[in-house]
Structure 1
């Protein structure tokens, strides 16, 4: 079969193909435009162990061991920020009265990952930017409370601090244009498949 013969059904149904493609694109654009805005708050947690002051003019390895201990402790802090009890405590600080269903929804919006040996990045994505920032601060507070409690029977020189005075807030908007282009492409391919099946099967 020549290429010209193969393309005839598509040329004959070009209106249908373009119509389906435009419909998919327009529908996706409208759906994307109707989606609510979200806000992502992020903060970096710095984990350190304060080295003991050197006495006299003697050289010590305290600073080196303090840094190594802090690097290992960062894994514990990461676990804190991902644990349900710490998250629950943080959520209670921001939302004193909260049902279990909404707690689980908020819990899914929290992410924590280790970015460097002593740095842990925490992000919270919520429809309300103010609440997202408050929850970040509450998570840091809850982690600090737990660390302080554990340090009472361990190493009191360990500290958890936020690098910035307040979390960074970003507005997350749906990619209406990109989503529409992708949807139009999908609609175009789908319409071509339908025309081909109708013509040759």
Structure 2
């Protein structure tokens, strides 16, 4: 039987004695190896699809949110809201290389459009590596909102970062899109290798 892989490929599943003579480890044969490679192929294919859908969905959602922000900033009705009750939650996540201190803030706001008073809620989530971030809002603070024309209950909060940009694509979107593309390429490549290995094992 001709060796199809490296000297100690697959951790002893299919071996090469160094002279070009291949053989299976005890308890293994071509059918079992093909079955395992098929499982690996299916898992990697599922991961490829899942990662592609996740990152694509995230980028599309952020893009649509930014488009909506620019639309309201241009044609919406500006309103100054006053922050009322503020809720703050802290959480901590320990990692191998770094820790994350997370602060989640929820603020009730009240604002007026065309003489009518409306209530709304703002939410924010921030994380640092060394300490808990300060809450995003404080009671009594004023914030600028852009409300939907004819539907003041729908609004977005003023975002200085987006105001300084020329388009809806942000650096975070580009970075995560690149990370997603890299992961998809890696998973897809390994899936193709597993498929090729399965076919070789089936031919043994």
TM-score (norm: length of structure 2): 0.29
Higher strand share: 2
Higher helix share: 1
Higher relative contact order (CA closer than 8 Å, sequence separation 6+): 1
